[in-house]
A and B are shown apart, each in its own frame.
Chain A
Amino acid sequence: MEQQLLVAAVCCLAVVTFVVVAMLVRQRQTTKRLRNRIGLLESGVGVRENEIAHLVTARLPALVQSLNGRPVDVPGPLNPRLRDVPYGRHLDKVIEMFSEAGGRAKARADESAKATLKAMMRGVQSLANEQQLAISRMQAQHDDPDVLEGLLKIDHMNAQLGRRAQVSAVLCGSWPGLQRSASPLTDVVRGATSRIRDYLRVQVHSQVSDAVVSRAVEPVVLALAELLDNAARHSQPNTPVEVNFQPAHNGMAIVIDDAGVAMTTEELKRAERLLAGQETVDINRLGDPPQVGFAVIGVLAARYGFHVSVDTRSPYGGVRAVVFLPTGLLTRIEDRPKAAVAAPAPAPAPARREPVPEPSGAPVEQQPSLTAGGLPRRRRVSTADHNTNAAPPAPAAAPGRPAPQPGSVPPGEPVRPARQTAAGLGAWQRGTRSGRATVSHDSEGKSPE
């Protein structure tokens, strides 16, 4: 019995020992596993913390810089394995939302800055225009060369001022303003010359008869002025800036050569990008001092359909800028002096002295031929003109006019309107538009004799 008890006790002890050992072993294993796991988690937390720190210290600042227009690359996550876990994706999402919000805010700020600048420049522009009118009026009124000298200087400065304002406004998305009539290419180039500082150095060599269509005059003048200004600015003060016209099969090229310094490859790339006019101009990225020339040319070229390149070297070592105007922007206009010569009313002196009973319908036709003072303007008499004029007096008298008594009308009298009628409304319009083309030698005829 005692022996049995002993055996049982030993067995119990063995079992207990076994259980305790087993538990100890298990405990040990669990502890080890937990320790490993804690280690893993700790390192995971470390990685994430580093990642957050990286986000705050490197990624977001870089993003801010790139939003501010600096050429900075935004770095990716430190640990590339994080890309595939939700944590990394969330961080990327933060970056994304941040840049989106930043971009939107920047666009809004840009828009409002442009709108403000545009409105301000419009004010400056209209002031410059008004000033130009005042200057022109003074130039017409004062005959003193000393006064004129001052006026020419003021006019020159005002033209530059107006151009600056115009350029800034165009950069902000405004129209160039000032609608002009179609103008000869030579005048367009010289108009551009009027608006730059070193206008005396610009030499226009060839002459062409083509003109620029009305809507493109001001933009082309502006673009040319920027190019000419660039050319003059980047060359020695004693070197000329040459302008030549090169007819092409589908347009006309205006070639501007300077003898200054050539552009570096980097500058050329920038110029090419800007001149293409494909990207919207960021007024915050123009540099200091702002380089607006190429940007504004690019905007105008893209909007009006001409092409500008600066990638050729001029034979004088400087830059050759080529403005290509496609046929669509070109037209032909009649030479003004020729129109003036063609239209004169040859009124022989005796005819003028005749007291003329004015037909009631006549003033309609005579209206444009009034001079500013209402007095007859003296005109050269061309006998050839006179002869041809004498022939067709009938058409003028014909259309619903209360019988102008053909017999009593002096030969020079109804002849001019007749000729104009025959020449067609177009010619008549041109004549009136040129203002000087028509003459009134009977404007006083209404007075009772």
Chain B
Amino acid sequence: MSPPRHDRALVRPHVVTGGRAHPTRNIFDLVTLVIASRTQVAGLSPEKRKVMELCQGGALSVAEVAAHLALPVSVTKVLLSDLVDSGHIVTRASAAEPAEPSDHLLREVLDGLRARL
């Protein structure tokens, strides 16, 4: 998922999560939306600050946050569950309001897929 240029990331994931691999809560999947609920970022690690910065403007999915941080999704989940624990972000299930996609959008997606395959 991460592009190759991050494969040699300077800061390795074990430092990012402090060696933890298990998120404190099991509430995230790829499309869970996270929203910042606080603005202060004092005392947070650089990665968590980035998450807060990213989520300040609106909801982002877990997958997007992971992509922005250039971290594996599983590592991102550990960070996000920490942030939920500390009250910095809140989550929202992605399937909350699936605005019915228009025919047009579906057609465009179909065309896109055809063009790719």
CB within 8 Å of B: which A268-308 residues: none
Q: A136-B9, A194-B12 are in contact. List 17 more A-B contacts (CB 8 A).
A: A136-B7, A137-B7, A143-B74, A145-B23, A148-B72, A148-B74, A151-B21, A156-B12, A180-B8, A187-B46, A193-B11, A194-B15, A217-B10, A353-B104, A380-B60, A435-B5, A436-B67
Query: Taking the nearest CB of chain A, how far is it from the CB of B38, in angstroms?
Result: 17
Known contacts A137-B7, A148-B21; is A353 also within 8 Å of B102 by CB? yes
- Establish whether residues A337 and B53, one from each chain, have CB atoms under 8 Å apart when the complex forms: yes
- Establish whether residues A435 and B104, one from each chain, have CB atoms under 8 Å apart when the complex forms: no
**Can you pick out 30 interface pairs between chain A and chain B where the beta carbons lie within 8 Å of each other?**
A133-B7, A136-B9, A137-B7, A142-B74, A143-B74, A145-B23, A145-B74, A151-B21, A152-B13, A152-B17, A152-B19, A155-B13, A159-B12, A183-B10, A186-B46, A190-B46, A191-B12, A193-B11, A194-B14, A337-B50, A337-B68, A340-B54, A341-B57, A352-B105, A352-B108, A374-B116, A376-B112, A378-B64, A443-B112, A446-B115
CA distance A336 to B71 in the complex (A): 14
Query: Taking the nearest CB of chain A, how far is it from the CB of B59, in angstroms?
Result: 8
Q: Total interface residues on B, using CB and 8 Å? A: 46
Q: Is A110's beta carbon under 8 Å from chain B?
A: no
CA distance A352 to B11 in the complex (A): 37
- Establish whether residues A444 and B111, one from each chain, have CB atoms under 8 Å apart when the complex forms: yes
Interface residues of A (CB under 8 A from B): 129, 132-133, 136-137, 139-146, 148-149, 151-153, 155-156, 159, 178, 180, 183-184, 186-188, 190-191, 193-195, 199-200, 207, 217, 221, 336-338, 340-341, 352-353, 355, 372-378, 380-382, 435-436, 443-444, 446-449
- In the complex, which residues of chain B have a beta carbon less than 8 angstroms from the beta carbon of A338? 53
Known contacts A145-B23, A374-B116; is A435 also within 8 Å of B3 by CB? yes
B50-74 near A? 1/0 per residue, CB < 8 Å: 1001100111110010011010111
Most B Cβ at <10 Å: residue of A140, A153, A194: A140
- Establish whether residues A447 and B50, one from each chain, have CB atoms under 8 Å apart when the complex forms: no
Query: Taking the nearest CB of chain A, how far is it from the CB of B110, in angstroms?
Result: 9
- Establish whether residues A436 and B22, one from each chain, have CB atoms under 8 Å apart when the complex forms: no
CA distance A132 to B13 in the complex (A): 12
- Establish whether residues A129 and B8, one from each chain, have CB atoms under 8 Å apart when the complex forms: yes
CA distance A188 to B9 in the complex (A): 11
- Establish whether residues A149 and B3, one from each chain, have CB atoms under 8 Å apart when the complex forms: no
- In the complex, which residues of chain A have a beta carbon less than 8 angstroms from the beta carbon of B5? 435
The 5 closest A-B pairs by CB, nearest first: A149-B21, A444-B112, A191-B10, A194-B12, A148-B21
Known contacts A152-B17, A193-B15; is A372 also within 8 Å of B3 by CB? yes
CA distance A217 to B8 in the complex (A): 13
Query: Taking the nearest CB of chain A, how far is it from the CB of B81, in angstroms?
Result: 11
Known contacts A341-B54, A375-B112; is A132 also within 8 Å of B23 by CB? no
- In the complex, which residues of chain B have a beta carbon less than 8 angstroms from the beta carbon of A136? 2, 6-9, 72
CA distance A385 to B46 in the complex (A): 25
Known contacts A143-B74, A435-B5, A436-B67; is A194 also within 8 Å of B53 by CB? no
Known contacts A145-B22, A444-B108; is A382 also within 8 Å of B8 by CB? no
- Establish whether residues A190 and B115, one from each chain, have CB atoms under 8 Å apart when the complex forms: no
CA distance A139 to B53 in the complex (A): 24
- Establish whether residues B11 and A200, one from each chain, have CB atoms under 8 Å apart when the complex forms: no
Q: Is B1's beta carbon under 8 Å from chain A?
A: yes
Known contacts A140-B1, A193-B15; is A188 also within 8 Å of B10 by CB? yes
CA distance A194 to B12 in the complex (A): 6
Q: Is B84's beta carbon under 8 Å from chain A?
A: no
CB within 8 Å of A: which B69-117 residues: 70, 72-75, 102, 104-105, 108, 111-112, 114-116
Query: Taking the nearest CB of chain A, how far is it from the CB of B6, in angstroms?
Result: 7
- In the complex, which residues of chain A have a beta carbon less than 8 angstroms from the beta carbon of B54? 337, 340-341
Most A Cβ at <10 Å: residue of B18, B22, B54, B112: B112
CA distance A56 to B108 in the complex (A): 94
- In the complex, which residues of chain A have a beta carbon less than 8 angstroms from the beta carbon of B64? 377-378
Query: Taking the nearest CB of chain A, how far is it from the CB of B115, in angstroms?
Result: 4
- In the complex, which residues of chain A have a beta carbon less than 8 angstroms from the beta carbon of B57? 341, 380, 382
- The 8 Å CB contact of A199, one of B14, B73, B115, is B14
